[in-house]
Amino acid sequence: MSANQSINKKMKQSILVLIIGFLFFANLNGQQFEKSKADSLRDEGNIKLAVQEYSKLYQQDSTNRNNTYNYARALALDRQIDTAFYYLNIATAKDTSVQTLNDPDFYFLIEDDRWAGLQNNLVERVEAKFGKYKNIELSKELWTMGIKDQAFYYHLDVVNNTVGRESPINAAIWELKKKINNQNLNRLVEIIDTHGWPKKSVVEGSAASSVFLIIQHAGIETQKKYLPLMTEAANNGEAEWSSLALLIDRVNLREGKEQKYGSQIYRNKDGSFYVKDLQEPEYVNQRRKEVGLGPIEEYVQRFGIEWTIEQKEK
């Protein structure tokens, strides 16, 4: 392996760490559910056994929307497409959110014609409750691009926890993700050239978040190119400052500077994590609060890091 390949590999691993941290905040509709045996099997990568357990739970209580939804997710991951759609339609029959349309576990469903029907049904209920989207077709496309961006992190997590990060399976998945990310980026450039930066007031929050994720996973030159546009959007309330802060940290580190908000977590050789090159760490919570991020202590705890630096304010 060349030096450049080694650097790219480490960078990709750090991207995975970032995404795990970012998605840690996105619990199902903001709710917490007790983990079932089926959930545990799914997390371990035993999808077929997980499907069997979800089926048993469904037979016991077909009204449990959370289990039915997770059943559909597991079926989709197992590429049982017809059955996945069947239970997903049951799980979302009364749903008035677009959570499903952002869920990467449904990656293998999005090319099926039935996905468009599911999108339309969910959007109809959401619009009936909350009002019309200003550019629903663009929102739909960005939701799908977000699914593609987040796809296969589950598979990487399973691989890392079973055969390890040095596995050729890990490398193969990253190559697949690289192709997906490039396709996403090429399309996003076309969208920005046509529509300008996709504003939160036009495409709504979750679709706008897809834009951030795609830029976050691009090369440094692309990130630098669009950082001013996203900064302008955030200053005008058209993008999330909490997301922009992550991009600022990423760009700073990639240019050899210190990060401001402590969002970039790296892995040591022994598997432990650390916050890389943080500017004035004693003031980080003040900076994080200003952009809507929670305390650094809570954030790094998710990675097994104990934060011991006393916080101050200027």
**pLDDT at residue 33, as a whole number:** 59
pLDDT at 16 over 70: no
Query: CB–CB of 264/305 below 8 Å?
Result: no
- Contacts (Cβ under 8 Å, ≥6 apart) of 308: none
Average pLDDT over the chain, rounded to an integer: 90
List, for residues 49-80, the tens digit of each pLDDT value. Answer: 999 999 999 999 999 999 999 999 999 999 99
CA 96 → CA 53, 77, 87, 112, 205, distances in Å? 27, 24, 17, 22, 15
Work out the pLDDT band at 307, boundaries 50, 70, 90: very high
List, for residues 140-186, the tens digit of each pLDDT value. Answer: 999 999 999 999 999 999 999 999 888 999 999 999 999 999 999 99
- Contacts (Cβ under 8 Å, ≥6 apart) of 227: 247, 248, 251
Give CA–CA dist 230/249, Å, rounded.
14
DSSP conformational letter for 265: E
**pLDDT at residue 35, as a whole number:** 85
Look up the CATH number of domain 33-132: 1.25.40
- Contacts (Cβ under 8 Å, ≥6 apart) of 158: 44, 45
Q: In the numeric block, which tokens belong to residue 149?
A: 């961006």
Q: In the numeric block, which tokens belong to residue 155?
A: 């598979």
Spell out the domain ranges in the chain: 33-132
List, for residues 81-131, the tens digit of each pLDDT value. Answer: 999 999 999 999 999 999 999 999 999 999 999 999 999 999 999 999 999
**pLDDT at residue 80, as a whole number:** 98
DSSP H helical ranges for the chain: 3-23, 37-44, 47-60, 65-77, 81-91, 113-130, 136-150, 153-162, 168-195, 200-203, 205-216, 220-235, 241-254, 284-290, 296-301
pLDDT at 23 over 90: no
> CA angle, 190 as apex, 185 and 193 as ends, to 5°?
120
The residue behind tokens 């796809």 is: 151
pLDDT at 224 over 90: yes
pLDDT at 10 over 90: no
Report the Cα 126 to chain-centroid distance in Å: 22
Give CA–CA dist 221/231, Å, rounded.
16
For residues 15-20, average pLDDT: 44
